[in-house]
Amino acid sequence: MAHLELQGVSKQFGGVRALDDVSLAVAGGTVHAIVGENGAGKSTLGRIVAGVLSADGGRVLLDGAPASFRSPRYALEHGVAAIAQEPSLVPELTVAENVYLGSEPRRLGFIRRRRLRRAYAELAKRAGFDLPGQARAATLRTAEQQKAEILRALSRDARIIVMDEPSAALSAPETAQLHEIIRTLAGHGTTILLISHFLREVLDLADTVTVLRDGKLVRTAPASEETEASLVEAMLGRPLTTTFPEKRPPDADAPLALSVRDLVAPGVADVSFDVREGEIVGIAGLVGAGRSELARAVFGANRMKAGETRLASGRAVGKSPRRSLDSGVAMIPESRKDQGLIFGRSVIENVTLAELAELSTLGVVRRRAERRSATGILDRCDVRGASYSAPVGALSGGNQQKVLFARMLLGEPRVLLADEPTRGVDVGAKRAIYELLVSLAESGMAIVLISSELEEIIGLAHRVLVMRAGRLVAELEGDAMTEAAILAAAFADRSAGGVAA
Amino acid sequence: MSVEASPGEGPSRFSQARAGVRGFFTLDRLRRSGILIPFVALFVLLTLTSEPFATKVNLLNILDQQSAILIIAAAGTLVLVAGGIDLSVGATYSLAAVVSAHYALETDPVVAMLLGVGAGLLVGLVNGFVSTVLRINSLIATLAMAFIVGGCASLITEGSLLVLFDVPEFGKLAGTEWIGVKTSIWIMAAAVVVIGLLLARTTAGRYMYAAGGNAEAARLAGVRVNGVRMLAFVLSGTAAGLAGVIDTSRVLSAQAGQADTALAFTVLAGIVVGGTSILGGDGAVWRTVVGVLFIALIGNGYVLLGLDPLYEQITMGAILLAAVGIDVWTRQRQP
């Protein structure tokens, strides 16, 4: 009998089906890996098993008995523990206190400290971990914090451990250590559900691999029958559709618009690239690879530590958002809700915010001029759904995104950094945004397009740069720009180094 | 997936208009301009029940007494809209009062008044610097500044009451009559109109709404969020300084440390009752004026009707809770 079984599990967020009728069985004492693209539903699946989310449909079986977990605590009582990518320890408590947090040995509400220390020592010995129980959690490195989380799981007699991207924040030696721990745990009969981006890691560790795509199960197969290539192919699946406007690459002698040299910033390590006028350069990579951080550094939203970004005019940018805007560099930020729009203010105010100084005399806003230029640009961007005087929050996601484009266009920039410009946008608005991007490029604007949707990158960009761990690891152009090549570069194991395209 | 409304179709236009009528009494509407309804109701009630209420003397008296609070609250609205809070206004008011009184006894009254207002401006600068550049939460920063500033005021007076009966010229600032109305009221009206226009009509005001509504989005749109917040704090400090000088001129005496905290909270209550959000990004100066006057009418009504003033405090607290509650509930309902 399977240790853990999912039968027809579905989960919906708003209008998006994160998981759609997924069934799989995990044998006891095995490592079962879940792989898929960003947004394929891997983490959702892990969180349902761990009781963080509850499924909308289908059921989860433990040892053949239906188990619906209402909370992580309930899951833990049934022997299912989860280890998140970012460890969640209380920094001011010691390792031992963290491990027994919520299940401290106590009498009359007082914690029995000596017994707690003894219990911790026994547990660490049993797991074979060399981790001092009296150290404060804040002083631990990430790998050690993960060990503490694993100990916490073991202290509750967890028989199933869900690990979501456990190695994403680890260095190479730490990763090797973690792999050893996973093998030991499985050897002792613990079942591991491993969610990972790193295909080599998956093939190394897992007994069985399940591939998800768009929330649907593609297949479950023994790891010995899979290769990196076969997994990538299964993750991609969907054939390229032709919903994109025709590409018109810039002339071969189009002048440079933006050049970035040796850029070092938070999340970005030593990146250099050029963008020419009229060119759309796509930046691909996994979530956390440093794509948004790169755009933010070039725009001046994050501080640069080293390197330089220059415009064709020789003017340096990246000092502050205001200066970038003034020198003709605009950014559509990743999250329109958190970084883009002022939800409570009107559509017009949101559009003119960046160029208000141009629409005012001696600091007083010329309201008629403001309304006129905002209306013109909003009509051009085809924003619909509510009066332009209504709060921008009343618009649909696609129209909100168009408002951000309208704000950007008002400044007439020469360089546009568009970070996930179609995220959470319906199909019609997507197509409109694609057409807008292409027509802007044709008019000579240099565009840097960041997207997690490879289809979008390949459909729009003239050239693709692939990022991994803050670095540019591949540059692809023309026919070499395939989903398989991009994914291979984005997923390549860190130990492999080099470009795996 | 979001569904886009089809534009320009007859039925949707119609339903939109109907929704507008139905939505007139929504919580959001209540927050934005609802303060007018209880204000007018209370005004009518007092007019009917108390003979001396609706007289020119009584109403001008209320305005004269509230002029300091109105000036501080108008500028305080800017701080709240920009996403901060200024709890030091009471202490700043005291400092400006004793600074102006102290120097009025030594030098020219006009110089003394300017020094008082200048002291307020200085406190505002420090508040702005600490809460933006040093990134200390403005609630704590201005609370700490309230202690420091209050202490400085006590140092100047050495604990005694400064009396200006020998400097009658100092009283002219607030006490001169013009078209039958005292200059305290004229100055207040001018300050409130200027501050109100600043918030509603200028780029600086627009940036305050943006900074308070979504600081990161404002920054990425090129707004100098720190600069805007700094301006709000400087205006708040200066306004508190001006208010302190006006009240010193009204009563021709000044004392440190009296009722500093109470003033700061009365001001805050007026702003919030007026419907300005404590969470930032929303509010208006005219609403603050109505809010402050609403509270003043309650106090006036208790006096005129001879009610037990103990209940006045309870009434005030309940109204404040309702005002903040409406703000929070309507925010949650927004998309």
pLDDT digits (tens, 9 = 90+) for A37-94: 766 788 889 889 988 888 888 888 888 888 877 788 788 888 898 887 667 788 888 9
A67 with A160, same domain: the answer is yes
pLDDT for the residue numbered A499 = 36
Would residue A94 count as lying in a domain? Answer: no
Q: Does A429 touch chain B (CB under 8 A)?
A: yes
Q: Closest chain B residue to A320 measured between Cα atoms?
A: B222
The dihedrals phi and psi of B221, each to the nearest 5 degrees, come to: -90, 10
pLDDT for the residue numbered B261 = 83
- The lowest-confidence range among A222-236, A304-318, B147-161 is A222-236
Strand spans (E) along A286-414? 306-311, 316-317, 329-332, 360-361, 364-365
Q: Is A336 in contact with B179 (CB distance < 8 Å)?
A: no
pLDDT for the residue numbered A427 = 63
Q: What is the mean pLDDT of residues B160-171?
A: 89
**Does the beta-carbon distance from A386 to B5 stay under 8 Å?**
yes
Please determine, for residue B69, whether its predicted confidence score (pLDDT) is greater than 90.
Answer: yes
- According to DSSP, residue A249 is labeled P
Is residue B292 helix, strand or coil? helix
A64 with A14, same domain: the answer is yes
- The lowest-confidence range among A169-178, A186-195, A279-288, A355-364 is A169-178
**Does the beta-carbon distance from B203 to A360 stay under 8 Å?**
yes
For position A29, which CATH number holds?
3.40.50.300
Is residue A24 helix, strand or coil? strand
Distance from A412 to chain B by nearest Cα, in Å?
Answer: 14
- The lowest-confidence range among A141-145, B125-129, B281-285 is A141-145
Interatomic CA distance for residues B69 and B85, integer angstroms: 16
The tokens of B203 are what?
A: 């780029």
Which residues in chain B touch residue A343, judged by CB atoms under 8 angstroms apart? 213-214, 334-335
Please determine, for residue A441, whether its predicted confidence score (pLDDT) is greater than 50.
Answer: yes
Q: Is A87 in contact with A167 (CB distance < 8 Å)?
A: no
Domain boundaries, chain B: 67-284
A230 with A179, same domain: the answer is yes
Would residue A334 count as lying in a domain? Answer: no
Q: Is B323 in contact with B273 (CB distance < 8 Å)?
A: yes
Would residue A154 count as lying in a domain? Answer: yes
Interatomic CA distance for residues A105 and A96, integer angstroms: 12
Q: Bridge partners of A273?
A: A260
Please determine, for residue B290, whether its predicted confidence score (pLDDT) is greater than 80.
Answer: yes
Residue tagged 């897992």 (tokens): A206
Please determine, for residue B13, whether its predicted confidence score (pLDDT) is greater than 50.
Answer: no
B232-249 pLDDT, tens digit each:
999 999 999 999 999 999
Query: Inter-axis angle of helices B203-213 and B225-251, to 10 degrees?
Result: 110
pLDDT for the residue numbered A154 = 83
pLDDT for the residue numbered B3 = 37
Q: What angle do CA B241, B128, B235 make, to 5 degrees?
A: 40
Would residue A285 count as lying in a domain? Answer: yes
Q: Bridge partners of A193?
A: A32, A162
pLDDT for the residue numbered A164 = 86
Q: Residue A471 — very low, low, confident or very high, per pLDDT cuts 50/70/90?
A: very high
A356 with A421, same domain: the answer is no
Q: What is the mean pLDDT of residues B181-193?
A: 96
- State the burial class of residue A455 (Cβ atoms within 10 Å of its Cβ: 0-12, 13-18, 19+): middle
A45 with A181, same domain: the answer is yes
Q: Is A489 in contact with A501 (CB distance < 8 Å)?
A: yes
Q: Is A300 in contact with A323 (CB distance < 8 Å)?
A: yes
Supply the Cα-derived Rg of chain A in whole angstroms: 25
Identify which of A87-91, A182-186, A218-222, A425-429 has the greatest average pLDDT. Answer: A218-222
Q: What is the mean pLDDT of residues B15-34?
A: 48
Q: What is the mean pLDDT of residues B4-12?
A: 35
Residue tagged 């106590």 (tokens): A106
A150 with A214, same domain: the answer is yes
Residue A54 or residue A366, greater confidence:
A366
Last residue of a domain, one of A353, A377, A412: A412
What is the average pLDDT score of chain B?
A: 87
Distance from B206 to chain A by nearest Cα, in Å?
Answer: 8
Residue A352 Cα distances to A332, A337, A359, A407, angstroms: 15, 17, 8, 6
CA dihedral A44, A45, A50, A56 (to 10 degrees): 80
A73 with A190, same domain: the answer is yes
Would residue A112 count as lying in a domain? Answer: no
- pLDDT exceeding 70 applies to what percent of chain A? 94
Last residue of a domain, one of A412, A430, A462: A412
The contacts of residue A229 (CB under 8 Å, 6+ apart) are A484
pLDDT for the residue numbered B32 = 64
Is residue A490 helix, strand or coil? helix
Would residue A99 count as lying in a domain? Answer: no
Of A312, A180, A384, give the one whose Cα is nearest residue B6: A384
Please determine, for residue A246, whether its predicted confidence score (pLDDT) is greater than 70.
Answer: yes
Would residue A454 count as lying in a domain? Answer: yes
pLDDT for the residue numbered A108 = 77
pLDDT for the residue numbered A385 = 75
**Does the beta-carbon distance from A396 to B3 stay under 8 Å?**
yes
A96-129 pLDDT, tens digit each:
888 888 778 877 778 788 888 888 988 888 777 7
| Model-level ipTM above the cut of 0.85 | no
Residue B32 Cα distances to A342, B11, B319, B330, angstroms: 17, 28, 16, 10
Distance from B223 to chain A by nearest Cα, in Å?
Answer: 7
Sign of CA dihedral A115, A116, A120, A126: positive
Please determine, for residue B277, whether its predicted confidence score (pLDDT) is greater than 50.
Answer: yes
pLDDT for the residue numbered B258 = 66
Q: Does B2 touch chain A (CB under 8 A)?
A: yes
Q: Does B213 touch chain A (CB under 8 A)?
A: yes
**Does the beta-carbon distance from A322 to B224 stay under 8 Å?**
yes
Residue tagged 């129209």 (tokens): A399
**Does the beta-carbon distance from B222 to A326 stay under 8 Å?**
yes
**Does the beta-carbon distance from B4 to A326 stay under 8 Å?**
no
pLDDT for the residue numbered B4 = 37
Tally of structural domains, chain A: 3
Interatomic CA distance for residues A187 and A203, integer angstroms: 17
Strand spans (E) along B89-171? 162-163
Interatomic CA distance for residues A15 and B228, integer angstroms: 39
**Does the beta-carbon distance from A398 to B214 stay under 8 Å?**
no
Q: Does A353 touch chain B (CB under 8 A)?
A: yes
Interatomic CA distance for residues B212 and B281, integer angstroms: 4
pLDDT for the residue numbered B327 = 72
Distance from A304 to chain B by nearest Cα, in Å?
Answer: 16
Q: Does B332 touch chain A (CB under 8 A)?
A: no
Q: Does B201 touch chain A (CB under 8 A)?
A: yes
The tokens of A457 are what?
A: 């990158």
Q: What residue type is B21 in one-letter code?
A: V
Distance from A345 to chain B by nearest Cα, in Å?
Answer: 8
Q: Closest chain A residue to B6 measured between Cα atoms?
A: A385
pLDDT for the residue numbered B191 = 97
Query: Measured in whole angstroms, how far is the alpha carbon of residue B55 from the centre of its chain?
Result: 26
Would residue A124 count as lying in a domain? Answer: no
Interatomic CA distance for residues B170 and B186, integer angstroms: 17
Which residues in chain B touch residue A375, judged by CB atoms under 8 angstroms apart? none
A248 with A228, same domain: the answer is no
A 364-383 → B contacts, CB under 8 A: 364-365, 367
Pick the residue of A303, A356, A387, A404 with the most B CBs within 10 A to test the interface with B by mutation.
Answer: A356
Structural domain for A208, as ranges: 4-89+140-236
The tokens of A240 are what?
A: 């390229």
A202 with A250, same domain: the answer is no
Q: Residue A242 — very low, low, confident or very high, per pLDDT cuts 50/70/90?
A: very low
pLDDT for the residue numbered A109 = 77
Interatomic CA distance for residues A194 and A45, integer angstroms: 11
**Does the beta-carbon distance from A342 to B334 stay under 8 Å?**
no
Q: Does A394 touch chain B (CB under 8 A)?
A: yes
Last residue of a domain, one of A412, A433, A465: A412
Residue tagged 């009254």 (tokens): B109
- The lowest-confidence range among A226-235, B188-197, B235-244 is A226-235
